[in-house]
A and B are shown apart, each in its own frame.
Chain A
């Protein structure tokens, strides 16, 4: 599904070039659950952002199926974000002024889903994650684990094919972390392609392939 060839990412300053990613070659197959591991500053998040089209590689090719991502315009990227991919963040990144329900609903609005359908889809997920009672609460009124559940719900409500999770358990204590990982595992079983970034060894094993990043290079 995703093919990265010789991806470099660097920042130029006056006298030197700082590499964040160096010659990354990576293939991700449909239905795969990939874990990217590595210490802080190894380029994990940058790699994930490039895959999620939130950042651009400095050099190299990025193929999504047979599309050259470099050729996509702003509009197609928007479409990719809307229809193809879902994101989960360490800091949840829920919109604080919106209720749980509204947060989950947001991507559907941008997709142009009709209100009736939206109601059904959001209700399904609330039910599935056991947070129906919380739907009218605001993010700050929830525990971290619950907030991340809402984050996942929001990421998958639009039925993306790819789920990108940037340290989804980083802010959670272990019990909540396990709950989140179990949820991801289940999604994987249902056929979702997932790429997660983590430095928790235990949670890394939930994936069926692990790659190690160090100093921007795959070991």
Chain B
């Protein structure tokens, strides 16, 4: 009790350092808690599934491709299940909604409702592989019957305003589905985030193609007995004769195609998977970066603590010395000091917990894309609390031991010389090294995102409007076009099967007995002009010519990778096995049809208006004048021709910016946390400068009496801080350079690592530090020297 009283008095006695310590620690712990929970969540994606470590996604790696593909031949998993005894269950899960939402129609109290929704299709074994938290369910196997659907609680609420929706029906894709299960939202953090899962069709193209060995289309998941080694399992899959035989189609030279079994819990960070947009993936290195940031912030806070404790030491030492002269033991002194710091840390941690939780509730979705689950993370929070306590103890040990090292009488008498010894520049250096590093990295992330949003993509994305097609619209497309053309605000209208950002499908060709795969878009002739693709060689498509059906235009990447030339012939075989030759008539400059994270893959344009009935986008190029009026006009025309469904549209540049939502979030997080670390570091030097000027009060007075001006005193007091920050800058620059290079590796298209990023970071740190320190120094320097000397 006595000790507590003493601690309370100590804290009250050095008010400035107590306040700064609390602010610094609370800020740091808040950031630390948020970051660590985020990192923990990221690393635990999908771990909530029972036996998560025994669930694998199948992927195919062909020798000629950099990336794996999750599109398997339907029969693959069934063959694996049949041949390998360790397989417990398998399922197909197709998150097709990620390629485009589809129209859902349902009734509420007899009124028809419609909206476009993200969705997935899965077979009836889904629940044998994955774990769902059902609120309501018709049996353990909700998708057993055809035309059934599992929906999330949120989805049910959205459609019917209640989660009691078993037996309710909706229509989509021309089929009627009835709800057989409702699962809890949010599903824990998962790479699957569809809110409605439709049962696998029993008829039609998907059902048929599933049964053949000819179509690669199915993301497949396999659950094995626990104890199965992942690498052995993968080897055994690739040793199955049927698999070898069926997939040898993709073999090239002596290299074989392999099937890869990727653990479910690794999917969140899966890199180099062609269909990653289907799954809710994240970048591992940026999560790790954030982890490092969290550690940095903790270190900065720890250093602050040591700094303050050291700075207040001389004052405190006198008290300690007096109690020791009165008979206090060394042990007690150390215990009191450590206990004090542990209390301060614990209190700060608790406050930080509330602040972190408030920030999470307020900005979680924007910062992290989901809300952190504090409740689920209680064990982690305990660990973090332990870390915070460790910080407290470490922070206290140094001052505790130096306070007992000095003989008591010396401490009473020689306050000033002790004070001088204890101003520790290297602490400031370390803090500012970390801070400058963080500032530099956040400047770079901003620059990279800006670069990706503004760099020329190889086509003209301005004023390009994309309209979702409907069956009605496509059957009336000629009328739609001619109506639109009458409006001077519309430059042109054309159809395409793919658009930038949604690259659509890939296609295989034979070229000189070699199997090659490229992205493929069916386009109308006008599309190439409209988007302003740069034709390098050959010609564009010739309008309205049937002969053009066998013409293709390739991009430079395809030309380089496959050695194609103008006039090269690519072969395809139709269902009956008849050859269909295609001739290269033109080469366009590479353009970025996915995000700038990716390199440009080989790409082919085909001209084939007939294909548009299947799947295509309606592209409208506006002149850019009065966009709103133009859109209204187009809406009018649309409503006439396609009255059933409301028009959905977006502008290409907006949509392309959305590709960088992940990076936008990263920018948000890194900027926020580097801000925080700057604040903590500033608190540190503010405290330090207060103590420095306090202990140098007398010296300042003497110097002024000897003719020093305020400016000279300012320079004297600021000099050392400037020196420390310059050292920090020198240390931080190469570190920042390495970190940035590493981060930029995530992007195929990188912004320049300009020198000014480093300079800017250094200057920001220097200016902020100088302002802070000068505020104190100015007060010290402009004081009347007589007062300063009167203290003696």
Q: Is B658 an interface residue (CB 8 A)?
A: no
Q: Is A158 an interface residue (CB 8 A)?
A: yes
Q: How far is the CA of A52 from the CA of B705 in the complex (A)?
A: 9
Inter-chain contacts of B710 with A (CB < 8 A): 74
Considering only CB atoms, which chain A residue lies closest to B711 in the complex?
A78
The list of the 8 closest CB pairs from A to B, nearest first, reads A82-B707, A110-B707, A107-B706, A81-B707, A54-B786, A78-B709, A93-B702, A91-B792
Beyond A54-B786, A83-B707, A93-B701, 16 additional pairs, beta carbon < 8 A? A54-B784, A78-B708, A81-B704, A81-B706, A82-B707, A87-B706, A89-B789, A93-B705, A93-B789, A96-B416, A97-B417, A97-B420, A106-B703, A106-B706, A110-B706, A110-B708
Contact across chains for B712 and A110 when beta carbons are under 8 A apart: yes
Q: How far is the CA of A197 from the CA of B145 in the complex (A)?
A: 109
What are 8 A-to-B residue pairs whose CB atoms are below 8 Å?
Answer: A74-B709, A78-B707, A78-B708, A81-B707, A89-B789, A93-B701, A110-B712, A140-B417
Inter-chain contacts of B417 with A (CB < 8 A): 96-97, 140
A97: contacting residue among B699, B704, B706, CB under 8 A: B699
Q: Is A55 an interface residue (CB 8 A)?
A: yes
Contact across chains for A55 and B706 when beta carbons are under 8 A apart: no
Inter-chain contacts of A111 with B (CB < 8 A): 707
Looking at the assembled complex, report how far the CB atom of A104 sits from the nearest CB atom of chain B, in whole angstroms. Answer: 10
Looking at the assembled complex, report how far the CB atom of A143 sits from the nearest CB atom of chain B, in whole angstroms. Answer: 17
Q: Is B698 an interface residue (CB 8 A)?
A: yes
Q: Is B785 an interface residue (CB 8 A)?
A: yes
Looking at the assembled complex, report how far the CB atom of A62 sits from the nearest CB atom of chain B, in whole angstroms. Answer: 16
Q: Is A1 an interface residue (CB 8 A)?
A: no
Q: Is A9 an interface residue (CB 8 A)?
A: no
| Most chain B CB within a 10 A radius of its CB, from A75, A93, A110 | A93
Contact across chains for A95 and B699 when beta carbons are under 8 A apart: yes
Inter-chain contacts of B709 with A (CB < 8 A): 74-75, 78, 110
Q: How far is the CA of A139 from the CA of B701 in the complex (A)?
A: 17
Q: Is A3 an interface residue (CB 8 A)?
A: no
Tell me the chain B residues, 687-730 only, with Cβ under 8 Å from chain A.
698-699, 701-710, 712
Q: How far is the CA of A78 from the CA of B792 in the complex (A)?
A: 23
Secondary structure type dominating chain B contacts: helix
Q: Is A154 an interface residue (CB 8 A)?
A: yes
B interface footprint on A58-87 (CB within 8 Å = 1, 0 otherwise): 000000000000000011001001110001
Q: Is A176 an interface residue (CB 8 A)?
A: no
Q: How far is the CA of A83 from the CA of B698 in the complex (A)?
A: 21
Considering only CB atoms, which chain A residue lies closest to B790 in the complex?
A45
Contact across chains for A95 and B703 when beta carbons are under 8 A apart: yes
Q: Is A49 an interface residue (CB 8 A)?
A: yes
Looking at the assembled complex, report how far the CB atom of B26 sits from the nearest CB atom of chain A, in whole angstroms. Answer: 36
Looking at the assembled complex, report how far the CB atom of A76 sits from the nearest CB atom of chain B, in whole angstroms. Answer: 11
B interface footprint on A89-122 (CB within 8 Å = 1, 0 otherwise): 1010111110000000011001100000000000
B785: contacting residue among A54, A74, A75, A94, CB under 8 A: A54
Inter-chain contacts of A55 with B (CB < 8 A): 784, 786
Known: A54-B784, A55-B786, A96-B417. A81 touches B705 (CB 8 A): yes
Chain A: how many interface residues by the 8 Å CB criterion? 25
B interface footprint on A203-217 (CB within 8 Å = 1, 0 otherwise): 000000000000000
Inter-chain contacts of B712 with A (CB < 8 A): 110
Interface range for B: 20 to 34
Tell me the chain B residues, 409-445 only, with Cβ under 8 Å from chain A.
416-417, 420
Chain A interface (Cβ < 8 Å from any Cβ of B): 49, 52, 54-55, 74-75, 78, 81-83, 87, 89, 91, 93-97, 106-107, 110-111, 140, 154, 158
Q: How far is the CA of A52 from the CA of B707 in the complex (A)?
A: 12
Considering only CB atoms, which chain B residue lies closest to A89 in the complex?
B789
Looking at the assembled complex, report how far the CB atom of A84 sits from the nearest CB atom of chain B, in whole angstroms. Answer: 10
Inter-chain contacts of B704 with A (CB < 8 A): 81
Inter-chain contacts of A75 with B (CB < 8 A): 709
Inter-chain contacts of A106 with B (CB < 8 A): 703, 706
Considering only CB atoms, which chain B residue lies closest to A87 in the complex?
B705
Contact across chains for B702 and A95 when beta carbons are under 8 A apart: yes
Q: How far is the CA of A208 from the CA of B699 in the complex (A)?
A: 34
Q: How far is the CA of A80 from the CA of B712 in the complex (A)?
A: 16
Inter-chain contacts of B416 with A (CB < 8 A): 96
A interface footprint on B663-698 (CB within 8 Å = 1, 0 otherwise): 000000000000000000000000000000000001
Inter-chain contacts of B420 with A (CB < 8 A): 96-97
Inter-chain contacts of A96 with B (CB < 8 A): 416-417, 420, 699
Q: How far is the CA of A94 from the CA of B789 in the complex (A)?
A: 11
Q: How far is the CA of A91 from the CA of B785 in the complex (A)?
A: 14
Inter-chain contacts of B703 with A (CB < 8 A): 95, 106, 110
Q: How far is the CA of A154 from the CA of B416 in the complex (A)?
A: 21
B707: contacting residue among A49, A91, A97, A107, CB under 8 A: A107
Inter-chain contacts of A82 with B (CB < 8 A): 706-707
Q: How far is the CA of A169 from the CA of B792 in the complex (A)?
A: 16
Contact across chains for A93 and B698 when beta carbons are under 8 A apart: yes
Q: How far is the CA of A35 from the CA of B623 in the complex (A)?
A: 95
Considering only CB atoms, which chain A residue lies closest to B782 in the complex?
A74
Tell me the chain B residues, 734-761 only, with Cβ under 8 Å from chain A.
none
Looking at the assembled complex, report how far the CB atom of A210 sits from the nearest CB atom of chain B, in whole angstroms. Answer: 24
Inter-chain contacts of B698 with A (CB < 8 A): 93
Inter-chain contacts of B699 with A (CB < 8 A): 95-97
Q: How far is the CA of A199 from the CA of B224 in the complex (A)?
A: 100
Considering only CB atoms, which chain A residue lies closest to B700 in the complex?
A95
| Most chain A CB within a 10 A radius of its CB, from B701, B704, B705 | B705
Considering only CB atoms, which chain A residue lies closest to B788 in the complex?
A93
Inter-chain contacts of B702 with A (CB < 8 A): 93-95
Looking at the assembled complex, report how far the CB atom of A58 sits from the nearest CB atom of chain B, in whole angstroms. Answer: 15
Looking at the assembled complex, report how far the CB atom of B60 sits from the nearest CB atom of chain A, in whole angstroms. Answer: 73
Q: How far is the CA of A83 from the CA of B701 in the complex (A)?
A: 17
Known: A49-B786, A95-B699, A96-B417. A54 touches B792 (CB 8 A): no
Q: How far is the CA of A55 from the CA of B420 in the complex (A)?
A: 29
Contact across chains for B707 and A158 when beta carbons are under 8 A apart: yes
Q: How far is the CA of A154 from the CA of B704 in the complex (A)?
A: 13
Contact across chains for B706 and A154 when beta carbons are under 8 A apart: yes
Inter-chain contacts of A89 with B (CB < 8 A): 789
Inter-chain contacts of B789 with A (CB < 8 A): 89, 91, 93
| Most chain A CB within a 10 A radius of its CB, from B420, B710, B786 | B786
Q: How far is the CA of A5 from the CA of B707 in the complex (A)?
A: 26
Q: How far is the CA of A154 from the CA of B705 in the complex (A)?
A: 11
Q: How far is the CA of A110 from the CA of B707 in the complex (A)?
A: 6
Considering only CB atoms, which chain A residue lies closest to B706 in the complex?
A107
Looking at the assembled complex, report how far the CB atom of A209 sits from the nearest CB atom of chain B, in whole angstroms. Answer: 25
Q: How far is the CA of A87 from the CA of B785 in the complex (A)?
A: 12
Q: How far is the CA of A75 from the CA of B710 in the complex (A)?
A: 9
Looking at the assembled complex, report how far the CB atom of B419 sits from the nearest CB atom of chain A, in whole angstroms. Answer: 10
Looking at the assembled complex, report how far the CB atom of B710 sits from the nearest CB atom of chain A, in whole angstroms. Answer: 7
Contact across chains for B705 and A54 when beta carbons are under 8 A apart: yes
Inter-chain contacts of B707 with A (CB < 8 A): 78, 81-83, 107, 110-111, 158
Considering only CB atoms, which chain B residue lies closest to A97 in the complex?
B420
Tell me the chain B residues, 362-387 only, with Cβ under 8 Å from chain A.
none
Q: How far is the CA of A89 from the CA of B785 in the complex (A)?
A: 13
Considering only CB atoms, which chain B residue lies closest to A83 in the complex?
B707
Q: How far is the CA of A140 from the CA of B417 in the complex (A)?
A: 10
Looking at the assembled complex, report how far the CB atom of B2 sits from the nearest CB atom of chain A, in whole angstroms. Answer: 36
Q: How far is the CA of A163 from the CA of B703 in the complex (A)?
A: 16
Considering only CB atoms, which chain B residue lies closest to A91 in the complex?
B792
Considering only CB atoms, which chain B residue lies closest to A155 in the complex?
B706
Inter-chain contacts of A107 with B (CB < 8 A): 706-707
Tell me the chain B residues, 434-475 only, with Cβ under 8 Å from chain A.
none
Inter-chain contacts of A97 with B (CB < 8 A): 417, 420, 699
Q: How far is the CA of A54 from the CA of B702 in the complex (A)?
A: 11
Looking at the assembled complex, report how far the CB atom of B787 sits from the nearest CB atom of chain A, in whole angstroms. Answer: 9
Q: How far is the CA of A94 from the CA of B701 in the complex (A)?
A: 11
Considering only CB atoms, which chain B residue lies closest to A106 in the complex?
B706
| Most chain A CB within a 10 A radius of its CB, from B706, B712, B789, B792 | B706
Q: How far is the CA of A82 from the CA of B707 in the complex (A)?
A: 4
Looking at the assembled complex, report how far the CB atom of B709 sits from the nearest CB atom of chain A, in whole angstroms. Answer: 5
Considering only CB atoms, which chain A residue lies closest to B710 in the complex?
A74
Inter-chain contacts of A87 with B (CB < 8 A): 705-706
